[in-house]
Amino acid sequence: MQIDGVTDLWDTLLGAQPDPPGLLVLLTALAGVLAVAFRPVWRVARNAVTIAHEGGHALMALLTGRRLRGIRLEFDTSGLTLSSGRPTGPGMMLTLLGGYIAPSLVGVLGAWLLGGNRITLLLWIAIVLLLLMLINVRNAFGVVSLLVTGAIVFAVSWFADPEVQAVFAYAGVWFLLFGGVRPVFELQSLRKRGRMRESDADQLAHLTHVPALFWVGVFLAVNLAALVIGAFLLAGQWLPASTG
C-alpha cells in the first residue's frame, strides 16, 4: 500500500474495493467451516474467538459504567475479564452477556463492512480494537497473542495485494460467524460434566434466578441469528454475479 499523505490514507480507508469473485466468498466460507470443525486447527484459531469474547466483556463493562480492571488471555484459549462495580443489576448482567455473543456480533459487523466492499477499513478497525485491548491486558501471553494477531492484520492491510486482503478479510469474518457458535456447545458440554460451575451462564442464573440452560439458549439463539444475518450480507457478494 502506497500512501502519499493524510488525504490518501483517509481515501484508502473509506474507499470501496472492487467486488470480490463469488468463488472467493464461497471458498472462504468453506475455509471458515473447516477451521471450526477441524479440531487441530480450531485449537489454535480459537484464540481469535477468545479475544473477541473477552473484548465483548470489556466493552459491555465500560458501556455500563463499570471499571475495567484487566483482561487475561491464556495459552489454553481460555480468558478472564475483571471489572469492578455493583455485583448485581443490569450492568453486571450485560457484562456477562457480552462474552459469548461478541464473536458473532463482530462477525456481523465485519460482514456489513464487506458487503460495502470496505475491506481496508475492516482491517484497520480490527487493528484499532486489538490495540485498545492490548492496553488492558495483564499477562504476558495475552500481550504476545494480541501483538502477533495485530501484526498479522497490519501486514496484510499494508503490504498484501487487494486479492490477498480480500481472502484474509472474508475468511476471518466467516470464521467469527461460524466460530461464535461452537463455544456455546462446548460450554453446555462442560456444564453437563460439572466442569464449568462459574460459567457466564451460571453467573447469569445466579443473578436473575433464571436457569443457566436458558442463558445458554440465549447465547445460541443470538449467535445463530448472527450467522444467518452475516451469511445473508455476504451472499450479496455473489448472488448478483450468478444471476446477471
Residue 4: the pLDDT is 52
Residue 189: inside a domain, yes or no? yes
Q: How far apart are CA 165 and CA 224, in angstroms?
A: 26
Residue 243: the pLDDT is 44
Residue 229: the pLDDT is 97
Residue 5: inside a domain, yes or no? no
Residue 101: the pLDDT is 98
pTM of the model: 0.91
Q: How far apart are CA 42 and CA 44, in angstroms?
A: 5
Question: How many domains, the chain?
Answer: 1
Residue 142: the pLDDT is 96
| Cβ–Cβ under 8 Å, residues 48 and 94 | no
Residue 73 domain boundaries: 20-238
Residue 15: inside a domain, yes or no? no
Residue 130: inside a domain, yes or no? yes
**Interaxial angle between packed helices 90-115 and 212-235, expressed in degrees from 0 to 180 and rounded to the nearest 10:** 20
Residue 241: the pLDDT is 46
Residue 101: inside a domain, yes or no? yes
Indicate the SS3 state at residue 84.
strand
Residue 2: inside a domain, yes or no? no
Residue 244: the pLDDT is 42
| Sequence-separated (6 or more) residues with CB below 8 Å from residue 187 | 100, 196, 199, 200, 201, 216, 219
pLDDT along the chain (244 residues), means of 10: 56 69 93 96 96 97 96 95 93 97 98 92 95 96 96 94 94 98 96 89 96 97 98 77 44
Residue 217: inside a domain, yes or no? yes
Residue 211: inside a domain, yes or no? yes
Residue 128: the pLDDT is 96
